[in-house]
Structure 1
Amino acid sequence: MKLLNIKILLIMKILKYLLLFTIVIVFTNCNNKYSKEIAEIDKLITLTEELKVKSDNVDFNKINEQYSKYKKHLDLIKDYVNSDDSVMNKSVLEYALIRRPLKNLVKDEQRFKDELEHTLEQLKTLKADIKSGKLDSIKIVEYMDTEKRATLRFVSDYSIIIDEAIVHSVMFDSLYPQMDAKLKDLIEN
């Protein structure tokens, strides 16, 4: 009888562990139901965080300063450059290419930074909502599509603006001294 009780207790323990194991497996499978979507969100979060690092490495003060100097030159160009001077006009046209990328970054710097933070927050919230089961499958598909398109468009647009501003900032560094010298020469003569 004692042996039978021990066997029953052993079987009960085994059944208890099997039940616990089954519950863990079922729970894990429920959580993995949307693992593809969660992985996609993780990729979007990584992409957005990489853009944030890229943005944090931009010297916005330098670009603001360059744009201010450019605007001062633009006023001088309007006042002193003769439209018949083809050599100077060529230099002015080349110099004018700098304006737009610098201006785009300068005027929208705060909006871009705010949107970057908002995008990260949206993605993390969506991920948490999916994991917690707050959304049904239809809403998940709908929100995933919306967030993916918005994130990819924003990351692409802002990345291009940053890249163009960096390139044109380097151009500014090489063209500014030349234009400054030409304008000083024009003003003095």
Structure 2
Amino acid sequence: MTKVLVTGGVRSGKSLYAEMLLADAGPVSYITPGYPADPAADPEWAARVYSHQKRRPTHWRTVETLDIAHAVAEADTPVLIDCIGTWLSRSIDTWGTWDQPFDSWRHLFDDAVLELLDAWRNHDHPLVAVTNEVGWGLVSQYASGRLFADLTGRVNQRLATVCDEVVLMVAGRPLHL
């Protein structure tokens, strides 16, 4: 196992499975691009973050950053990224482009994905990334929801091309693609 993409729906067991893949890897750089947990502002998000944190081994190093390509490039250990969908939504938030035509900021998206792919290809240790499998339900009535589904699909396809394995999680069960 060198480079693995773990995809699936909400609460499908993606993160837990990804963590198990690296359980015996020694020190791991756990890259999380999520928003910081603030129980006062969003107790549900804080509980999710806490549940992830408490089950990680203490010798794993947590790297909270939106610049996941740089974090992968700098890591000298196996890496777990959780999650690509969160990175994508936070990136779009940072660019402030949710309501702008995609063609006007496509270069930001393409550049960020290319940086990630370059770091991914050049990392000499095991890499595992968790991502969302979106678009199996209804098409969103909101342009931002449709955009997120489209771009997540594009990122997932690109990452899958540089992976040794892709795993789809369904009801806690891994399906190796």
Structure index of larger Rg: 1
Q: Which has the higher strand share?
A: 2
What TM-score do the two structures reach when normalised by structure 2? 0.27
Scaled by the length of structure 1, the TM-score of the pair is 0.25
